[in-house]
Amino acid sequence: MKKGILLTMLLTMALLPLSAFSQMKIGYMNPDSVLRDLPEVATIEAQVQGYIEEREQAFQDRYQAWIALFSEYNEQTQQGLLTEEEIAAKEQELAEEEQELTLLQTRIQNQIAARQNELFTPVLERLDRGIRAVSEQMGLDMVLNRQTGMGDPIIYFAGGQSVDITESVLNYLLENNE
C-alpha cells in the first residue's frame, strides 16, 4: 500500500515536469516567398504597374508641355520677337510651371505609395491570418521571419528539429480563400 503511493507519487513527479516545463516551440518562414506564390499577388502587382504607368504618363504629358513652352520662349527670344516685359512674364510662367512639375512628381509618388498600400493591405492581412492559423494548428509559440525584405538573413541556420512553415502557410491560403 505504502509502496504503491510512493511509486505513484514518484511517477507523477517524474512525468509532471515534461508538461510543465515544455520547451518553447519555434517555427520560421519566408513570408515573401508565400506572397510570390499567391495568384492574387500577381493581379495586384499588375494593377499597381498599370497605375504607375498611368500616373507617369500624366507627368510626361505635363513635362512635354513645359518643354514646348520653353522651346517656344527660346525661339522667340532668339528672333528678338519679345519685349523685355514679355520675356520677364514668360520666365515667370516657366519657373512657376517648373515648380508645379516638381510638386506633381512628389504628389504622384505619394499617390503610387498610397495605392500600393491600399491594394496590398488585404493580402498582408490574409497572410497574417494564415500564419496564425497554421501556427495554432502546429502548436507553435513563436514564428520568426527567415529574412528581411532586402534579403538579409535573420536566421542563418535552422537545424533538424526546426519547423519551416512556409509551405504550410501557402497551402493553407490556397485552400482557404476567405
Residues that bind other proteins (CB under 8 A): 3, 6-7, 10-11, 13-14, 17-18, 21-24, 26, 29, 31, 74, 77-78, 91, 131-132, 135-136, 140-145, 148-150, 154
Give least dist CB 111 to other proteins, A: 21
3-state secondary structure at position 164: strand
Q: How far is the CB of 108 from other proteins (least distance, A)?
A: 21
CA distances from 118 to 25, 46, 55, 110, 133 (A): 34, 14, 16, 12, 24
Round to whole Å and give the CA distance between 101 and 5. Answer: 87
Cell triple for 112: 503610387
**Closest separation in Å from C-beta 167 to other proteins:** 15
Comparing CB distances to other proteins, the nearer of 7 and 46 is: 7
Is the Cβ of residue 154 or residue 174 nearer to other proteins in the bound state?
154
User: What count of residues does the chain have?
Assistant: 178
Please give the grid coordinates belonging to residue 80: 528678338
Minimum distance, C-beta of residue 131 to other proteins, in the bound complex (Å):
5
Burial 34-56 (b: 16+ CB within 10 A, else e): bbeebeebeebeeebeeeeeebe
Closer CB to other proteins, 85 or 136, in the complex = 136
Give the residue with the Cβ less far from other proteins, 31 or 173: 31
